Structure 1
Amino acid sequence: MPFPFFGDDKSTIARLLATLPQTGRVEWIGLRPKRREPLLSVPEATAETDRRLVGDHAAIKAGGKRQITLFQHEHLATVAGFLGLPAPIDPARLRRNLAISGLNLLALKNRRVRIGNEVILEITGECHPCSRMEEELGPGGYNAMRGHGGLTARIVQGGLIRVGDAVRVAEAEA
């Protein structure tokens, strides 16, 4: 009899993918007021349904799959280690909106998550690094960020996001 998690049954994998009992936490929030300007670190931000975070230059028009970006807070030390920088690095240098801890973000791909009591995001894909990482982090910054760039999301239901808010799979609430 095969071990239950490694059986030949494809439904076992589907069950494992659907199981994510952990709850994460918002550790940091950043807003990009204008293109190529430094990010502002804020204690809270308002997410507009199907648009953006208020005060962030990205996704001003409704629609789109990249209205908000998230990254794994635990990866700040990893990226710093790849570059020989003191860990952890400042989250603003990664040019994303939310730093989330305690939850494997890649496990959220193609799912909906609730942040705090109001906001629901639909995770739409990976947020791959761009050449700006060389400017921000120095030589090798782009490659240090590969696999650690985070995720993009659409804001399905807006509301207030605060540092310290819980992050959990929305389907798990049903």
Structure 2
Amino acid sequence: MPFPFFGDDKSKIAQMLATLPQTGRLEWIGLRPARREPLLAVPEATAETDRHLAGDHARVKAGGKRQVTLLQHEHLTAVAGFLGLPEALDPGRLRRNLVVSGLNLLALKNRQVQVGDEVVLEITGECHPCSRMEEELGPGGYNAMRGHGGLTARILRGGVLRLGDVVRVLPTAPAALPADA
């Protein structure tokens, strides 16, 4: 008897990939006032449709795939552990805009999420660590961040983001599986 999810019927896998019933929570918002400056933690920010977060130095062209960056809150403790630190890292050190708890962000690639009542983001890809992680976290910082760098997103519908906002995955039809699945 074939394994129930990998037999000839791949539609079950596609259905599982499309099913994300849980919600998350916006735990932290950070803006970069200027290149190489520390991020400012803010209680709310305005997401500008197809642009960026107001007050963030990154000026992204319309249609850009990296208009905002997201990080998994649960990874703050994991990365600290890889570095031998006793407690979770301050999210500002990792240079991402939004920190979300309660959702597996990697499961959201190519999906849309709504943050609060207004903002809709399309998750566009992974946000790999850069060499700045060695500067910020010390030797091994780059490797500690590998697999934990977060995701990039496009702002499909702007509005105000607030700490504590619910992050919910928007429904989608089950997608066809990639050829290598």
TM more than 0.5:
yes
Query: Displacement, 1:5?
Result: 3.9
Distance in 2, Cα, partners of 1:152 & 1:11: 28
2:31 is the counterpart of 1:31: yes
> What's the CA shift string for 1:83-131, capped at 9, x where partnerless?
0112111000000000000000001000111000000001000000000
Q: What residue is the counterpart of 2:52 in the other structure?
A: 52
Maintained 8 Å contact 1:59/1:66? no
Kindly tell me the number of residue pairs found equivalent between the two proteins. 172
Question: How big is the shift at 1:2?
Answer: 5.2
Q: Which runs of 5+ in 2 are unaligned?
A: 173-181
**What's the counterpart of residue 142 of structure 2?**
142
TM-score, length basis structure 1: 0.95
Question: In the alignment, which residue of structure 2 is the partner of 1:115?
Answer: 115
Counterpart in the other structure of 2:179:
none
Instruction: Report Cα offsets for 1:13-64 as digits up to 9, x if no partner.
Output: 1000000001000000000011100000001100000000000011343231
2:22 is the alignment partner of 1:22: yes
The within-5 A match list for 1:1-174 is: 4-171=4-171
Cα distance in 2 for partners of 1:62, 1:7 equals 43
Unaligned ranges ≥5, structure 1: none
Letter of the 1:104 counterpart: N
Runs of 4+ residues deviating >2 angstroms:
1-8, 59-63
Higher helix share: 1
Offset at residue 170 of structure 1 (A): 1.7
- TM, length-normalised to structure 2: 0.91
For 2:151 and 2:60, how far apart are their aligned partners in 1? 19
| Structure 1 residue 3: Cα displacement | 6.0
Deviation at 1:7, TM superposition (A): 4.0
Give the match's secondary structure for 1:144: helix
For residues 2 and 63 of structure 1, what CA distance do their matches in structure 2 show?
A: 44
* Cα RMSD after superposing both structures: 1.3
CA distance in 2, matches of 1:6, 1:163: 40
CA distance in 1 between partners of 2:50 and 2:73 (Å): 25
